[in-house]
Amino acid sequence: MTLCSLREVLDHARAGGYGVGAFNVTDIEQVEAVLDAAAATNSPVIVQTIAGASAFASDELYWDLLLRTVDHYPQIPVVVHLDHGPDFETCKRAVDAGFSSVMIDGSLDPVTHKPTSFEANVEVTKRVVAYARERGVSIEAELGTIGGSKDGATHAEIVLADPEEAKRFVEETGVDALAVAIGTSHGAYKFTSPPDGTVLRMDLIETIAALIPDTHLVMHGSSSLPAHLRAVINAHGGGLPESWGVPDEEKARSTKLGVTKINQGMDSHMAYAAAMRVALAEDPLAADPAPAAKAGRAAMSAIIAERMGIFGQAGHAGDYVGTPVREAAALSLA
Ligand code: 13P
């Protein structure tokens, strides 16, 4: 079992009462870090990436290597997911490359980065659903606007998801999963103090889940922003501002309220960057980046394995039953 559909992996999670982490990757070492953590904890997992977010000049080359890496882990169910596809064309490219799931983020205009109308969001989402569904690929969409920076270059204001709109949106589009804005934001700067129920609207998850019980809810911007990692980065030349993320216990609680997919990117990047900065500082003669990247990969794998325990997915690779989108044996690696 290797490449699996998001729908089936999340259906299994819901039936088992656990959540599945969707971990952002921007390089092949990071893909390996996620898959090693999944293999070590026996977890189904979602590997996700944003178009243009890697150091590769070509998404297609990076995506091809990513998919081939997954084939080296035949023992775990893996979803390869496009995170925040800004338009139909980008989602189509990911489907054509072999991804088993795509997110169309029609909540923001790809050019102006301003919130779009409900109707425009529905229209672009329906186009992606029509193309992806026919090819066995799952679809996530977004309603409301999750704040912060998705790609490191743009900043969006938070617009909370409206429960009645969520119901209408799902009826009109038929998406498998819906990212609902509940007050979280992407990136290394989230809350100015530990979040309470007035800024982190967990109550919205419950309300929306009750209205769309067959659609999976996705919590974006879920990184915790560990203070000890920020301290290491800042002690080695970094300048990350003090900020609070989503506490681990709230992420665990979200899986009991209706969330099945939990997006995490920044915590992994912080663990990777902190270990890399330490490795480079400890070896003033370092020129080859590989040893530092190796330290980064190991640190990233460790934090992800820890999160897999918190989200509840650990131990569930063995009981997963689903139809693989593609078997590892196709590449004669199993
Ligand atoms: P963080 O920025 O909190 O890691 O969230 C990642 C995310 O939601 C990607 O879609």
SS in 3 state form for 135-193? Answer: CCCEEEEEECECEECCCCCCCECCECCCHHHHHHHHHHHCCCEEEECCCCEECCCCECC
Could you say which residues of the chain have pLDDT below 50? 329, 332-334
Active site residue 267: no
Q: Is residue 179 part of a domain?
A: yes
Separation of CA 230 and ligand 1 centre (Å): 17
Q: Is residue 116 part of a domain?
A: yes
The reply to whether ligand 1 has any atom less than 6 angstroms from the CB of 186 is yes
Q: What separation, in Å, do the N-terminal and C-terminal C-alpha atoms of the chain show?
A: 10
Q: Is residue 1 part of a domain?
A: no
Q: Is residue 124 part of a domain?
A: yes
Paired sense of beta strands 259-264 and 101-104, if any: unpaired
The reply to whether ligand 1 has any atom less than 6 angstroms from the CB of 71 is no
What does the pLDDT look like over 103-132, one tens digit per residue? Answer: 999 998 888 888 899 999 999 999 999 999
Domain count, the chain: 1
Q: Is residue 220 part of a domain?
A: yes
Q: Is residue 277 part of a domain?
A: yes
Question: What is residue 151's predicted lDDT score, i.e. its pLDDT?
Answer: 54
Q: How far is CA 241 from CA 85, 135, 254, in A?
A: 28, 44, 27
- Domain boundaries, position 314: 6-333
The reply to whether ligand 1 has any atom less than 6 angstroms from the CB of 263 is yes
Q: Is residue 129 part of a domain?
A: yes
Active-site entry in 36, 83, 105, 267: 83
Atom of ligand 1 lying closest to residue 246 CA: 3
Residue 185: CATH number of its domain: 3.20.20.70
The reply to whether ligand 1 has any atom less than 6 angstroms from the CB of 264 is yes
Closest-CA residue, ligand 1 atom 5, reads: 221
Report the run of H or E that residue 46 belongs to, with start and end.
Answer: strand 45-49
Residue type, position 123, single letter:
E
What does the pLDDT look like over 33-91, one tens digit per residue? Answer: 999 999 999 999 999 999 999 999 999 999 999 999 999 999 999 999 999 999 999 99
